[in-house]
Amino acid sequence: MNYREKQKKDPAEKKLRKLSVYRKKYPDRLPEGLTEILDWEEAVENEIGQLQETGSLLPNPGEELFMTGWIGGAGTLIVADWKKEQLCTRFPAAFVRTARDREVFTNFSMEAQYEYQPPSTFATFAMSPAPYVKAGASWIAPVGEGGLMKALYRLGKESGLGFRVQAREVPVRQITIEFSEFFLLHPWEMLTGNGFLFTADHNADILKKLESDGIPFKKIGFITKEKQKLICHGEEQSNINRPEPDGILTLLLEDTER
């Protein structure tokens, strides 16, 4: 039985569905870089809360759905260093070293960064949602713990609307797919930490801003009036379910059990 199956059956383990909870219980067992990512996400959530106090952040039917960064980016970086010995049993060492290069996933910056800058290679993740909202994003959330799947679930829950996401448009690096398959994880459920999921009109200023600043982004879907939350794989469609625990958490719990 893997740890995700155990969490579903054991009430005590259900409490460990979040990295933040694990962090409090086992602060000395976190792999390098994870603390900075969790701090970034917490800072972003605080700022989103402040933005919501000054006006609602809700998408509208017909708006498009965008994402910056690469899904599972932070998780790939962390795993490449933390689990490099295991990875090198299947992949060439040079390939694993490539994944440890943060520039592969974070070769961009953005204005209005937080004054807080952690003294580590993950400092470039410290991006603010404020410029997105100022430039026309109607709704925004960090693609952090739980990855894209958790962010999409949150979108549906907060908006009360539906959406259609084209799986082939979701930005993902091949190296993330390879590592996810090796550890039996889903890249859509891996810690991303280097971008946002947001909604906006197709000609909103935010899209021009991202393009001019060289920040990678991609349209991955659109908002609908219907409440169906669909992932489209060609002609096949599937509904979004409650997100599973983050892939990094799954690995942490498996290590803890050993």
The label of the residue with tokens 């979004």 reads 240
Residue 81 host element (H or E): helix 73-82
Residue 123 pLDDT = 34
From first to last of the 258 residues of the chain, give the pLDDT tens digit: 444 455 455 444 455 678 989 998 888 999 988 888 888 899 899 999 999 988 889 999 999 999 988 899 889 989 999 999 999 999 999 999 888 766 555 543 333 333 323 333 333 333 789 889 989 999 999 999 999 999 999 999 999 999 999 999 999 989 999 999 999 999 999 988 768 999 999 999 999 888 887 778 899 999 999 999 999 998 899 999 888 899 999 999 988 766
Token match 């070293």: residue?
A: 97
Q: Which residues pair with 166 in a beta bridge?
A: 232
Q: Nearest CA to 168 among 108, 72, 235?
A: 235
Q: What residues have CB less than 8 Å from 208, skipping those under 6 apart? A: none
Looking at residue 11, what is its pLDDT? 46
User: What DSSP element (H or E) covers 121?
Assistant: none
What pLDDT, on the 0 to 100 scale, is given for residue 119? 32
Angle, helices 73-82 vs 174-182, to 10°: value is 60
pLDDT at 88: 96
Total domain count, the chain: 1
pLDDT at 131: 86
- Cα 47 to Cα 76: distance, rounded to the nearest angstrom: 26
Q: What is the pLDDT of residue 192?
A: 86
pLDDT of 122: 34
To the question of pTM greater than 0.75 for the whole model, the response is: yes
Q: What are the distances in angstroms from CA 115 to CA 21, 40, 126, 128? A: 26, 12, 9, 10
3-state secondary structure 242-257: CCCCCHHHHHHHHHHH
How far is CA 57 from each of CA 137, 164, 170, 202, 212, rounded to the nearest angstrom? 8, 19, 23, 17, 24
Q: Report pLDDT for 113.
A: 35
pLDDT reported for residue 86: 96
Q: Which domain holds residue 221?
A: 3-257
- What does the alpha-carbon distance between residue 48 and residue 220 come to, in Å, rounded to a whole number? 22
Compute the CA torsion angle 136, 142, 143, 146 (nearest 10 deg).
-140
CATH number at residue 50: 3.90.650.10
Q: pLDDT value at position 103?
A: 56
